[in-house]
């Protein structure tokens, strides 16, 4: 169960720290707060962790039973190409989520919630570091002409609006987003990491267990505040209401579903031994899991609203309200409880992309009515974003035939603060040349 | 054990103690998830949490330097007792402790709690060569 810790070669380690100073300025506060909120836990380590004693043979796909690759050139060329894209996308998500969290971190109303998110951000930084380790510790030249330093440069240059996946291009409107994102979007991350534990590239597979152990806490950092907010929401003076959380669910759920890839795809990754589930299989499991999560949160709300009821009576009341989709004893399914929208609601990728499906699964024929419907369900602050404006324009274009679906599927909003190199006046790149150490710049094992 | 087991664990605790304490179990579950997400175990019956066992490997406490698997909280839904869930939970957590390098597991039980003491004895737990001491403040 042990893992080995590795530090990146200096130029990349320094580039990540440089990126952190600009994009994650609250990072030093984590060390200051560690003993208050995580008193028994080992100190945070910005390092790559490689699990030991992982399987040596490919576990799924056409090459099942053959030895796993330990360098990219040993992979099937198509698998190497796909894997490189996966690692770059994964790296983008890790750094991207920090940029999103940072914007509203200071708005947390509870110091523990804030400290938990701060730790989540630091561990996402470590996960990004892990992906850079995968990119820079091996020779990827058989599948790309891009040099390692340029791959790292590209990842660190991304901003909210230019990341690979849409979920990481949405800005947070409040601390509700920090928490709902952890509950919904980090959960997709858990699925992706779990599927990649079988990866035919052994260093990738061995990167997953340490990341998954940390990801488990990230999900708790989302679900537990949501549970507490639901309890508080049962009181008339609640500041964070169930409708506010519901709107955040509507904002994030579709983006989470799209992170699995097109529902009809994923067979190639299984065939190549990179993942053990197709997109739809994994997505269906995710949907069942988040539905159960909302059940738990709703039950907490019902218990707080009716403290005189026994556990069994409260559970029975919730089951009746959910079953009837109605209002019983003043508890309304529509107004008071959290629910998942139809998987086709507000989608821009996958089999439901731009199909104008409402939260309850009903289909719209009139695009303006559909845009109104989506508008009426999203958080008000989010409506003012370029992301929603961009979606509405595409939705209109697809509906009236002026934008081909294929074009819409590839279109991403471009925010004003997109891309670019380090904002330091004295540097134009994140990765800068450093004096090569005696070991030739090879990575250092911290705990061999 | 995951964060989605909190509600089920709270329910079992409520059945056993008649107290509804979600915030207590949120703190405890988040602690064990953070420390070692794979250590603590839950048992499910028909898709619902029917038992749980929380613990972790630590060393250096009470002068006991060796890595020790500490079992700290456990419970089984009274409705499903008699199905060997306790044994399955303890087998799973002890296997994880072994993987983490522990060669001994420890726990404490109130002497008045004869059911739990009996269960632990059946699981081959024996009195330790350390004494639990207390002083009322």
Is B22 an 8 Å CB contact of chain A?
yes
Per-residue pLDDT of A58-102, as tens digits, reads: 999 999 999 999 999 999 999 999 999 999 999 999 999 999 999
B76: nearest Cα among B90, B58, B56: B90
Q: How far is CA A445 from CA A8, A47, A72, A319, in A?
A: 9, 10, 21, 54
Per-residue pLDDT of A6-59, as tens digits, reads: 999 999 999 999 999 999 999 999 999 999 999 989 999 999 999 999 999 999
- Minimum distance, in Å, between the CA of residue B129 and any CA atom of chain A: 26
Is pLDDT at A142 greater than 80 in this prediction?
yes
Is B6 an 8 Å CB contact of chain A?
yes
Q: Rounded CA gap, B96 and A328, in Å?
A: 46
Q: Is there a contact between B3 and A223 if contact means CB atoms under 8 Å apart? A: yes
Per-residue pLDDT of A380-416, as tens digits, reads: 999 999 999 999 999 999 999 999 999 999 887 765 4
Is A1 an 8 Å CB contact of chain B?
yes
What is the share, in percent, of chain A residues with pLDDT greater than 90? 88
Q: Which of B7, B20, B23 shows the shortest C-beta gap to A296?
A: B7
Residue A51: enclosing H or E segment and its boundaries? strand A48-51
Q: Which of B4, B14, B15 shows the shortest C-beta gap to A293?
A: B4
Q: Rounded CA gap, A351 and A349, in Å?
A: 7
The confidence score (pLDDT) of residue A438 equals 47
| Chain B residue closest in CA terms to A223 | B3
Query: Which tokens sit at B37?
Result: 């997400």
Q: Is the ipTM of this complex over 0.95?
A: no
Give burial (CB, 10 Å; 0-12/13-18/19+) of A246: buried
| Chain B residue closest in CA terms to A293 | B4
Q: Rounded CA gap, A195 and A135, in Å?
A: 20
Per-residue pLDDT of A154-165, as tens digits, reads: 999 998 888 888
Q: Is there a contact between A219 and B29 if contact means CB atoms under 8 Å apart? A: no
Opening angle at CA A117, ends A113 and A120, nearest 5: 145
pTM of the predicted protein model: 0.93
Q: Is there a contact between B6 and A224 if contact means CB atoms under 8 Å apart? A: yes
Size of interface A-B (CB pairs under 8 A): 57
Q: What is the mean pLDDT of residues A345-354?
A: 97
Is A38 an 8 Å CB contact of chain B?
yes
Is A190 an 8 Å CB contact of chain B?
no
Query: Which tokens sit at A211?
Result: 């990341």
- B-chain CB neighbours of A40 within 8 Å are 35, 58
What is the share, in percent, of chain A residues with pLDDT greater than 70? 93
Per-residue pLDDT of B15-50, as tens digits, reads: 999 999 999 999 999 999 999 989 999 999 999 999
| Chain B residue closest in CA terms to A297 | B7
- Minimum distance, in Å, between the CA of residue A217 and any CA atom of chain B: 5
The confidence score (pLDDT) of residue A446 equals 47
Per-residue pLDDT of A174-188, as tens digits, reads: 999 999 999 999 999
The confidence score (pLDDT) of residue A2 equals 77
Q: Is there a contact between B3 and A219 if contact means CB atoms under 8 Å apart? A: yes
Helix, strand or coil, per DSSP, at residue A54: coil
């Amino acid at each position: 169960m042990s893992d080995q810790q590795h530090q990146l070669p200096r130029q990349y380690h320094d580039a990540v720290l440089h990126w952190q100073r600009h994009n994650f300025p609250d990072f030093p506060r984590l060390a200051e707060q560690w003993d208050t909120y995580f008193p028994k836990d080992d100190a945070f380590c910005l390092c790559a962790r490689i699990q030991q004693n992982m399987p040596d043979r490919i576990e799924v796909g056409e090459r099942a039973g053959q030895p796993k690759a330990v360098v990219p050139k040993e992979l099937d060329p198509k698998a190497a190409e796909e894997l490189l894209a996966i690692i770059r996308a994964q790296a983008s998500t890790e750094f991207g989520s920090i940029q999103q969290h940072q914007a509203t971190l200071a708005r947390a109303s509870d110091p523990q919630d804030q400290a938990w998110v701060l730790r989540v951000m630091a561990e996402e930084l470590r996960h990004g570091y892990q992906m850079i380790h995968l990119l820079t510790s091996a020779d990827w030249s058989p599948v790309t002409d891009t040099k390692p330093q340029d791959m790292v440069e590209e990842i660190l240059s991304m901003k909210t609006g230019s990341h690979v996946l849409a979920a990481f291009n949405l800005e947070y409107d409040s601390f509700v987003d920090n928490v709902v994102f952890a509950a919904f979007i980090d959960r997709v991350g858990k699925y992706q990491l779990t599927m990649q534990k079988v990866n035919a590239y052994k260093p990738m597979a061995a990167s997953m267990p340490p990341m998954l152990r940390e990801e488990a806490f990230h999900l708790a950092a989302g679900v537990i505040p949501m549970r507490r907010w639901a309890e508080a929401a049962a009181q008339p003076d609640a500041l964070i209401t169930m409708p506010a959380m519901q709107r955040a669910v509507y904002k994030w759920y579709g983006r989470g579903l799209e992170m699995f890839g097109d529902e009809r795809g994923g067979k190639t990754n299984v065939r190549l031994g990179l993942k053990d589930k197709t997109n739809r299989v994994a997505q269906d499991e995710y949907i069942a899991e988040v539905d159960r999560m909302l059940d738990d949160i709703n039950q907490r709300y019902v218990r707080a609203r009716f403290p005189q009821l026994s556990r069994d009576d409260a559970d029975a009341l919730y089951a009746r309200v959910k079953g009837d989709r109605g209002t019983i004893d003043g508890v309304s399914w529509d107004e008071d409880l959290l629910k998942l929208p139809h998987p086709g609601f507000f989608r821009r990728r996958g089999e439901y992309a731009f199909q104008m499906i409402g939260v309850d699964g009903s289909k719209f024929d009139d695009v303006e009515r559909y845009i109104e419907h989506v508008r009426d369900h999203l958080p008000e602050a989010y409506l003012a974003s370029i992301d929603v404006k961009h979606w509405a324009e595409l939705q209109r274009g697809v509906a009236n035939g002026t934008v081909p679906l294929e074009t819409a599927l590839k279109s991403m909003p471009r925010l004003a603060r997109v891309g670019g190199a380090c904002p330091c006046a004295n540097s134009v790149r994140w990765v800068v040349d450093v004096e090569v150490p005696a070991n030739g710049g090879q990575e250092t094992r911290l705990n061999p | 054990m995951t964060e989605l087991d909190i509600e089920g664990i709270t329910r079992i605790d409520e059945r056993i103690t008649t107290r509804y304490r979600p915030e207590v179990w949120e703190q405890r579950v988040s602690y064990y998830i953070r420390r070692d997400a794979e250590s603590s175990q839950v048992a499910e019956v028909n898709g619902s949490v029917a038992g749980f066992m929380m613990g972790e490997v630590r060393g250096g406490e009470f002068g006991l330097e060796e890595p020790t698997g500490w079992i700290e909280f456990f419970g089984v839904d009274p409705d499903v007792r008699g199905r060997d869930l306790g044994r399955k939970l303890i087998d799973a957590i002890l296997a994880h402790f072994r993987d983490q390098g522990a060669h001994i597991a420890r726990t404490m039980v109130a002497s008045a709690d004869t059911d739990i003491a009996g269960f632990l004895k059946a699981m081959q737990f024996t009195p330790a060569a350390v004494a639990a001491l207390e002083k009322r403040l």
